[in-house]
Structure 1
Amino acid sequence: FYSAHRYGQAIDLYTQAIELNSQNAVYWANRSLAHTKLEEYGSAIQDATKAIEGYYRRGAAYLAMGKFKEALKDFQQVKRICPNDPDATKKLKECEKAVMKLKFEEAISVPESERRSVADSIDYRTIKVEPQYLGAKIEGDVVTLDFVKKMMDDFKNQKCLHKRYAFQIVLQMREMLQALPSLVDINVPDGSLLTVCGDVHGQFYDLINIFELNGLPSEENPYLFNGDFVDRGSFSVEVILTLFAFKCMCPSAIYLARGNHESKSMNKIYGFEGEVRSKLSETFVELFAEVFCYLPLAHVINQKVFVVHGGLFSVDGVKLSDIRAIDRFCEPPEE
């Protein structure tokens, strides 16, 4: 229609498209151009404004998802239309910096097959515990209920767990999770209960409240936490160490599934990475990222109830056998 100069018909068709999908900035931009050709400048300005908002909102969404290359394209478009907008300029610089960092990391990256596990470089037994440390301690190799209770009390009083014991817990979890399938079957005997919990997101005191109301995890009182243990809240380290410690204490007391926030991209944006770096160390950032890749993806309770984070699949015909066959030991794909 543009090449035939039939701008009125183009406007009608773009109007129909906008009614179907008003979030598509391209539709608004193209209808604005058609209005301009017909010298309908007021309508052109309105549509152009909508287009700018669309690019901005989509760019902000891409940025929040860690899709920096896609976000960069949208903010470049906003910058072209609104060159003096300070917020668009700030977002554009943020995207440019992130994309440059990605390119640098790609340039120096080692092939997956040649990478060493960060766990191979850690020997927690060589880490000395200072005499003045009065917090929770693991005696030998066994995580006990007394240790977990003491650790939770320390966390409630905003005291830190010694790095030696934090390493010990996370490394034990790594070994345990590595042996699990991608889909875990849970058997709940008749007369018994299993408590299923959703996103905790670093809310340690909410987690403690759950345990106070419903009892601590045990073989007789098992829990399934269905992902998103970390990010957003300020006590993600305390949450994940508590959940991991219970799993080390009694594997059948607690089941853990991977959520979308158990991933590098989300942890970088929503706070867990920075919190770990502040409370523990850079090595723990790498270790948690690796261990999160070992978390199971889904659970089936008594061959009847399917539990997975994030909902069902975008395609039909997915079978439990397909999920069992997934090689989960990686970061989640873009799609």
Structure 2
Amino acid sequence: MSEQNQELSVEKVEEAEKIKNVANEYFKKQDYQEAINYYTQAIEINPRNAIYYGNRSYAYLRTEFYGYALADASMAIELDKTYIKGYYRRAASYMSLGKFKEALRDYEYVIKARPNDKDAKRNYTECNKIVKKIAFQKAISVKETKKKGADSINLDSMTIENEYNGPELVDGKVTLQFMKDLMEFYKNCGNLHRKYAYNILLDVKDYFMDQPSLVDVPIGDDNTFTVCGDIHGQFYDLMNIFAKNGLPSETNPYLFNGDFVDRGSFSVECIFTLFGFKLLYPNHFFMSRGNHESAMMNHLYGFEGEVKAKYTTHMAELFTEVYNWLPLAHCLNNRVVVMHGGLFSRDDVTLDEIRSIDRNRQPPDEGLMCELLWSDPQPQNGRALSKRGVGCHFGPDVTANFLKMNNLDYIIRSHEVKNDGYEVAHDGKCITVFSAPNYCDTMGNLGAFITLQGKDMVPQFTKYAAVPHPNVKPMAYANSFLSMMC
């Protein structure tokens, strides 16, 4: 430490330490943005202290800014090759970005340096399993001999046990009474019978397969339309939205804008409720794909584990098939485009190009599909590398150009926690809506949804606080490596 600080006065070193300690206190209070601000001040005073970068990396991980977390962890290691927490942070960043081979190298370093570190061994083992699984899947993918999950399901062979007392489909179809019964059943911690769960998944997959990647949604002049952002497995907050705004119906249409699952530990309840309403009101209930509707995110952040715990591995695989067919965006009244993430690294993207995206796959690391799911707005003009390490940052000029070229009024996107549940940016042309209040039971944010009148399409915002839920913590089903981040 003395060598790193030899060009700084004792007073400067002490000042940076005091600011770092303030940052630590904000971190303990789970006010990660303020912690980041103070760590940044400490770094500006003393840019040669590896701990400051390591701590800020941890705060970036908590706020899901994985690209920034990776950069800080790498800087910490560059400053101090023996700084073990730097390798931990960088491995977690790589894991969050799906770069498992790189993460494995960092975990290997940690277990060599600390052979008795149980957490490091567990994370190394889990990461190694993922690397081997990916390699195996690549090896067999060319043969395509394995039957698809949907093709291997025989509903007729599934019997309903006498002791099952939950809701039942009517001739295999969703009804309004079924949906009302299902939501009450879920509120009382029931589990929908696997036959009905599979039935819903097969039917909703068939429906989504016939949809374009960008869905056009007409809204009558006198009609109201509601847009909701991320739900993230917070079922009881989803129920609160319906309590405040009414159940979905042909006269009360909704669009849920991605990230229905993961993190929150009631993701199964959320997704079957949403899919049920999609089947009940296919032309008045809409769902966009989010970055968490992907196999790897589900493996890491809890949905896969939750489906396996409540149902089977086979069903988890079927969910992946269904998610691959979710539309990527919606255009409301030819005036407003809604996508989960944001805009593009190119200036010439048209709505027709979005419609024609081949979406039946896992999200790629670049290109239009990736950016629709991952990008974020920035206040300054132009574009920048994403704080997440995936997608891009786009400025007000990028938004204005996209709207002008496609003759649109504004865009709605989600993807980011906002203290008030929403944010209006880019001169009113880029609106963020986030519908999971007190995200992960830690963030203290409000949730929000947007209502629009077809005649003028002017957004109206409704904010709400979190409601109580059963004592199952967020991330209860998440991958074990994430325990260091939660």
> TM-score, length-normalised on structure 2?
0.57
| Match of residue 406 from structure 2 | none
| Match of residue 221 from structure 1 | 252
**1:67 is matched with which residue: 72, 85, 99?**
99
1:99 aligns to 2:121 (yes or no): no
**Matched residue pairs, number?**
302
SS of aligned partner of 2:224? coil
SS of aligned partner of 1:159? coil
1:305 aligns to 2:306 (yes or no): no
User: 1:253, CA displacement in angstroms?
Assistant: 2.5
Cα separation, partners in 2 of 1:128 and 1:297, compared to 1, 3 Å:
same
Cα separation, partners in 2 of 1:29 and 1:218, compared to 1, 3 Å:
closer
1:296 aligns to 2:327 (yes or no): yes
**1:57 is matched with which residue: 89, 92, 100?**
89
1:124 aligns to 2:165 (yes or no): no
Q: Contact 2:294–2:320 (CA<8 Å) still a contact in 1?
A: yes
- Opposite residue 103 of structure 1, the aligned amino acid is A
User: 1:78, CA displacement in angstroms?
Assistant: 5.1
Q: Contact 2:73–2:89 (CA<8 Å) still a contact in 1?
A: no
SS of aligned partner of 1:125? helix
| Match of residue 284 from structure 2 | 253
User: 1:324, CA displacement in angstroms?
Assistant: 1.1
**1:48 is matched with which residue: 74, 80, 91?**
80
Which whole-Å CA distance do the structure 1 matches of 2:188 and 2:254 have between them? 25
Which entry has the higher C-alpha Rg, 1 or 2? Answer: 1
| Match of residue 318 from structure 1 | 349
Q: Which runs of 5+ in 1 are unaligned?
A: 1-14, 31-46
Q: Which runs of 5+ in 2 are unaligned?
A: 1-46, 54-67, 367-486
Higher deviation after alignment, 213-222 or 162-171: 162-171
- Opposite residue 105 of structure 1, the aligned amino acid is Q
1:279 aligns to 2:316 (yes or no): no
Cα separation, partners in 2 of 1:79 and 1:316, compared to 1, 3 Å:
farther
Which whole-Å CA distance do the structure 1 matches of 2:288 and 2:218 have between them? 16
- Opposite residue 130 of structure 2, the aligned amino acid is A
Which whole-Å CA distance do the structure 2 matches of 1:197 and 1:78 have between them? 42
User: 1:271, CA displacement in angstroms?
Assistant: 1.0
> For 1:296-331, what per-residue CA distance to the aligned partner results, in whole angstroms no more than 9, with x for missing partners?
011111111111112222333222122111111111
Q: Contact 1:65–1:266 (CA<8 Å) still a contact in 2?
A: no
Q: Contact 2:230–2:259 (CA<8 Å) still a contact in 1?
A: yes
Output aligned runs, 1:177-192, within 5 Å.
177-192=208-223
How much is the aligned-residue C-alpha RMSD, in angstroms?
A: 2.7
- Opposite residue 221 of structure 1, the aligned amino acid is N
Cα separation, partners in 2 of 1:70 and 1:319, compared to 1, 3 Å:
farther
Which whole-Å CA distance do the structure 1 matches of 2:172 and 2:347 have between them? 46
Q: Which structure has more strand as a fraction of its residues? A: 2
Which whole-Å CA distance do the structure 1 matches of 2:167 and 2:338 have between them? 34
- Opposite residue 123 of structure 2, the aligned amino acid is K
Higher deviation after alignment, 306-315 or 272-281: 306-315
Q: Contact 2:289–2:323 (CA<8 Å) still a contact in 1?
A: yes
Q: Contact 1:28–1:50 (CA<8 Å) still a contact in 2?
A: no
Q: Contact 1:200–1:207 (CA<8 Å) still a contact in 2?
A: yes
> TM-score, length-normalised on structure 1?
0.81
Q: Contact 2:77–2:87 (CA<8 Å) still a contact in 1?
A: no
Higher deviation after alignment, 149-158 or 112-121: 112-121
- Opposite residue 246 of structure 2, the aligned amino acid is G
Which whole-Å CA distance do the structure 1 matches of 2:280 and 2:76 have between them? 58
> For 1:63-84, what per-residue CA distance to the aligned partner results, in whole angstroms no more than 9, with x for missing partners?
133321121233345566x455
User: 1:270, CA displacement in angstroms?
Assistant: 0.9
Which whole-Å CA distance do the structure 2 matches of 1:251 and 1:94 have between them? 40
Which whole-Å CA distance do the structure 2 matches of 1:29 and 1:57 have between them? 10
User: 1:24, CA displacement in angstroms?
Assistant: 5.7
| Match of residue 243 from structure 1 | 274
